[in-house]
Chains A and B, each alone.
Chain A
Amino acid sequence: MEFAKKIVETTEEIFNTMIFMEISADAPLEQGKQALGCHISAMIGLTGGFSAMLGIHCPEAIGLAISGAMLGMEIEEIDADVKDALGEIANMVAGGLKERFAAENIDLELAIPTAISGKSYTIASSTRSNRVIIPFSIEQGQFFIEMKYNLN
């Protein structure tokens, strides 16, 4: 189903057309527990042909840089605007995946995105879920897009 390829394609499209930041995808991380060292995450659920939770996870500096680029202003701390901006990226990545899977006759519905922030948190899901984590690099450092999914 080429989850990683679809995630990379849609993420690069979003950064090139609406965020105007140079971005490069790195090799997907190996399966298993990963400590991503992130301070803000935005997530969105997908249901239908399969069920999934897609998340974008950023260290604080990266979240501030990305949201600042989206809003066209300098942002100094994680606030509602940063959460909103990352939630919108999660929404657009999920929308891009929906479109790409629809071309393969796999229909999906999107939920409303949500975001969390903090110095230390973990996101738990079914241990039976499949998991893809793609690191992306921008000038300021690295962030991650993760997809946990269960095939119906």
Chain B
Amino acid sequence: MGKTVLIVDDSNTMRKIVSRSLRQAGIDFDQILEAGDGQEALDVLAANKVDVVLSDINMPNMTGLEFLKAKAEDNAIKDIPVIMISTETGADIIDEAKSYGAKGAIKKPFTPDLINETLGPLL
């Protein structure tokens, strides 16, 4: 069965760029799902089998960190790996994200190679 990725970002542009960068990185997902904030991401995870999540941090309604906290408390989805993709990659924010289970972080702007390096080991 093919793999599914969920891209979480309030920017439609950035979701498209991440999706394009995955293809350019040679990472082939059978299904790419999208969500516009943390709450939408939780809804998508509740309704779909997802292998990995790429999530922004600064989002309205529910931020990336709030999404990680909520996900960590749900046994059904807590083990799905999450990589943060954000302009916010200061050590304090990334440490906080990792304390809630994030597996890594990619700083915007990013290259397809960086996506490959960070995401590849999780697949």
Contacts and interface: CB of A to CB of B under 8 A. Distances in A.
Contacts of A120: none
A87 interface: yes
Contacts of A85: 11, 13
A87 B11 CA distance: 8
Contact of A92 (B16, B20, B60, B87): B87
Contacts of A91: 11, 58, 87, 108
B67 to A, nearest CB: 16
Given A18-B17, A102-B90, A110-B88, A92 B108 contact: yes
A66 B93 CA distance: 30
Nearest to A102: B90
A88 B11 contact: yes
A112 B13 CA distance: 15
B111 interface: yes
A14 B109 contact: yes
A71 interface: yes
Interface residues of B, number: 20
A3 to B, nearest CB: 18
B60 A84 contact: no
State the majority secondary structure of interface residues on A: helix
Nearest to B92: A107
B99 interface: no
Given A110-B58, A112-B60, A71 B13 contact: yes
Given A99-B90, A112-B60, A88 B14 contact: yes
Interface string A72-90: 1000000011001101100
Given A70-B17, A88-B11, 17 more contacts: A17-B110, A18-B110, A67-B13, A81-B12, A84-B12, A85-B13, A87-B11, A88-B14, A91-B58, A92-B87, A95-B86, A95-B108, A98-B90, A99-B90, A110-B58, A110-B87, A110-B88
Q: Lowest 4 A-B CB distances belong to which pairs?
A: A95-B87, A18-B109, A85-B13, A17-B109
